[in-house]
Chains A and B, each alone.
Chain A
Amino acid sequence: MSESKRTAAEKADFKRELTEVVPHLRAFARGLCGRPDMADDLVQETMLKAWTARERFQLGTSMRAWTFVILRNAYLTDMRRNRFRGDYDEGVAERILTAPAGQEEPLHLSDMHRALLTLPPERREALLLVGAGGFSYEEAASICDCAVGTIKSRVGRARAALNSMLADGDIPKRSIKDAAAHRAILEELDEVAAGNGVAN
């Protein structure tokens, strides 16, 4: 890696943009993995990777999209290495997944979050990118390295699932405690991960 043909100003821009995007990385990571502590670990890992790869960032392109790709790949890698399986904290899972409807939250954000966590990861991330992150389908497809139609379909299915869960107030407690369901999630993840090149 040829050390810095970049000017000091360009380096400063990179740093500033990376700094600005950190809150978004935290939000995306929290939505993906559900646990604030793990999500923050993931974000720090992402920041280090982004820093190491900073010469590969194309100035003028979206820092948010670029770092989301890195975060997503780190997440998939960690998932496959059992990091989120082995030391999954049952107590926290229990609390997240069975928490009563939100205290003063007008839209029952805790219900929302619980419902989100029951979705298969690929649909969850698609919905997060498009429905929460404000990315276009095209941008989301680029981040997930898949076809636009695939993203549309994942978002559609995620929406349908949330519609039925939240409309009926029927949020299944599917998740980590249910071994079969969890295995299904992980298998799905493997499929997702298999097709994807890493962001470098």
Chain B
Amino acid sequence: MNVLEKVENKYIKTDIPDFKAGDKVKVNIKIREENKERIQTFEGIVIKIQGTGINKTFTVRKISFSVGVERTFLVNSPMIASITKLNTGIVRRSRLYYLRKKIGKKSKVEFEK
């Protein structure tokens, strides 16, 4: 292990569930407003996992009031309280950009039963 990895290991989370593109996840985000802190959830399909180590990010897409919304999170950010995997998706790609052009039923991902 090189020196930089040792530095990063201090900041890398170990309690993250194993999820991949196509899975449905619930992300609990810490929101700080002045001195108060509350939790906001963002639930949707993971369309991309990018990077490794401390730079690892994932993008979640959901349809909110018929408008597509995507958010990218740093996996190891302290602002993420928890990540929960809800369903395992059946997909053939690691990047699900095609979902952006689909509407209606086709914009959904089939889940394992």
Are these two chains actual partners, yes or no? Answer: no
Listed in ascending order, the chain B residues whose CB lies under 8 Å from chain A are: none
